[in-house]
Amino acid sequence: MEHLSTKQISNTFTETFPGDLSMNNTRRQTPGVLYCSVLPTPVAQPVLISWSDEMAEVLELSKPSPEDILILGGNAINPMMKPYASCYAGHQFGNWAGQLGDGRAISLGFCSGKDGVDYELQLKGAGPTPYSRNADGRAVLRSSVREYIMSEAMHYLGVPTTRALSLVATSDPVLRDMFYNGHAEYEPGAIVLRVAPSFIRFGNFEILAERGNGLLSKQLCDWVIARYYPEIDIEHEDRVVHLFQAVAERTADTIVEWLRVGFVHGVMNTDNMSILGLTIDYGPYSFVDDYDLSFTPNTTDLPGRRYAFGNQASVAYWNLSRLANALAFLVPETDKLVAVLKNYQDVYERKYYVMMAKKLGIDELREEDRLLIDSFEEMLQTLKPDMTLFYQLLIDLPDAIGSSADVKNFFQETFYTEPDETILYASMLTYRARIETNSCSVETSKQMMRAANPRFIVRNYMLHEAIEKLEKGDDSLLKKLEEYMKDPYSKKGDEYFVKRPAWAEQKAGCSMLSCSS
């Protein structure tokens, strides 16, 4: 185990691609480069709030020393680090936004993990970069806590995600207008050190296509293939098509996993889509409480609800189409990209129904099971029970389910409003009849369901309470959430095995958030 201040750091990205090395963080357009070298801006007094021992173990890092904390807070760097901000573009809420880039994220380089993976280390909230536009490059405590906790929580849920190593308070106030309504206030600042094999996004390719830089785009494709998709033949003439196909496959996997656990990203712009299919950029996210396909946690997403829970698969398809457009000038026969894109829906649906069969404890997906799953989801959408609680109770649904009143009483604690017990009863009769045809044992079916359905999720109201306490110097709830999130399929966190409380339904930061969250 080594300290971050002395750990071997590689600079593969900056040594491979052209960049602006001026170290000038003046906001500007940066054509012809993939990054700008920039140093983090020092803060008043970095104070370590939280540290992921598990992520540190992967990176073979020791508990942070005072010198390490200076790095985590942006006040120093390891001598081997050559910090930079990446240049990318994107479509935001369906509209082309042009150059975006790392406006408040600064990459420190790559650190080799004990699993053989090179991990990119990135400070979020470490000060302005050339891509900060009109912003200050900082992050507030509430958004930093949310990113730190949820990126780790999603890892333990089994969802492809970026990770987090540390959460540091800066002791500097940051001015934020939380809901963009003209009521800006100063909030405590913080920095997260987040970790991933790569933070490359669809937008990294979009900016190159928009600028007509085919040579650099080809170089980036080949680099991504060589490092992250070794199964693709780098010499094959269709390697770009094969890359797109692999990205589409991973994207489908991630969306299916989001829906499995009831996660809503909230801002699926193309610049927030990972080329590795990871969940990236945790902002106004939420888990679904009452089951509602039209739910969006993002105030900026109203009234259109483009990024609502039930729209995430179709938005992923649209985003993939933008990536296909960005890659098209590298592919002589673009119909091959079109074919991959057209196949996405079939790939996604196949993965989705297999996942749903596991959530329901169905031993083997049959063609007729798709209709049962569709009907089951219609019931959920109509009755809107708490998704997490409902699936947990479903695991222990009695063999003899009794009357409609019995079924209603069994699930009563999951409902936010009075349910139609006739609809519920009919659905449970159909479901029970299918389960009785399983070739596996009842216990095997239940084990499948326990593995597919989380019992503990980090809900927004829990985070809100933890942040409020933390702002007063009390980290007890934050530590409790960190403990429970590491074992989300057990009963360890059962003090929170309850519906969202009524007080949280309309409270800012609990029900709805903004992109600044």
| 459 C-beta neighbours (distance < 10 Å), count | 23
Residue 38's Cβ-side half-sphere holds a number of Cα atoms within 13 Å equal to 30
pLDDT at position 51 is 98
**Chain centroid to CA 18: how far?**
29
Do you know the residue count of the chain? 517
Distance CA(410)–CA(401), nearest Å, equals 9
CA torsion sign for 163, 166, 170, 173 is positive
Cα–Cα nearest to 123, from 36, 33, 191, 48: 191
Contact by Cβ (8 Å): 512, 505: no
| 432 C-beta neighbours (distance < 10 Å), count | 15
Query: Is residue 404 exposed (0-12), middle (13-18) or buried (19+ Cβ within 10 Å)?
Result: middle
Residue 513 pLDDT exceeds 90:
no
Distance CA(488)–CA(290), nearest Å, equals 19
pLDDT at position 516 is 57
Distance CA(208)–CA(223), nearest Å, equals 15
Q: Which helix (H) or strand (E) holds 16?
A: helix 12-16
For this structure, is 396 an active site residue? Answer: no
Beta strand extents in 42-137 (DSSP E only)? 47-51, 84-86, 89-92, 95-99, 105-112, 118-124
- pLDDT confidence tier of residue 176, bands split at 50, 70 and 90: confident
Q: List all residues 6 or more positions away from 120 whose beta carbon is below 8 Å from its beta carbon.
A: 13, 107, 109, 110, 195, 196, 197, 198, 199
Q: Which residue has the higher pLDDT, 174 or 513?
A: 174
CA distances from 415 to 380, 396, 408, 479 (A): 10, 17, 10, 29
Express each pLDDT in 90-148 by its tens digit.
999 999 999 999 999 999 999 999 999 999 999 999 999 999 999 999 999 999 999 99
Contact by Cβ (8 Å): 339, 320: no
Q: Which residue has the higher pLDDT, 185 or 100?
A: 100
Distance CA(274)–CA(203), nearest Å, equals 9
DSSP letters spanning 101-113: --SSEEEEEEEE-
- pLDDT confidence tier of residue 182, bands split at 50, 70 and 90: confident
Distance CA(309)–CA(278), nearest Å, equals 17
pLDDT at position 505 is 85
Which residue in 20, 68, 102, 271 is the catalytic one? 271
Cα–Cα nearest to 390, from 405, 418, 410: 410
Distance CA(16)–CA(112), nearest Å, equals 18
Distance CA(462)–CA(472), nearest Å, equals 16
pLDDT at position 181 is 74
Contact by Cβ (8 Å): 119, 197: yes
Tell me the β-bridge partners of 167.
Answer: 50, 192
Q: Which helix (H) or strand (E) holds 325?
A: helix 312-327
**Is residue 93 helix, strand or coil?**
coil
DSSP class of 280: -
Lookup: tokens for 410: 């069994």
- pLDDT confidence tier of residue 507, bands split at 50, 70 and 90: confident
Domain spans, the chain = 12-199, 213-357, 370-437
Contact by Cβ (8 Å): 360, 431: yes
Express each pLDDT in 50-69 by its tens digit.
999 999 999 999 999 999 99
DSSP class of 181: S
For residue 303, say if its preceding peptide bond is cis, omega within 30 degrees of 0: yes
Distance CA(33)–CA(86), nearest Å, equals 9
Tell me the β-bridge partners of 279.
Answer: 161
Q: What is the mean pLDDT of the chain?
A: 96
- pLDDT confidence tier of residue 506, bands split at 50, 70 and 90: confident
pLDDT at position 508 is 76
Residue 517 pLDDT exceeds 60:
no
| 184 C-beta neighbours (distance < 10 Å), count | 11
**What's the rounded mean pLDDT across residues 228-240?**
97
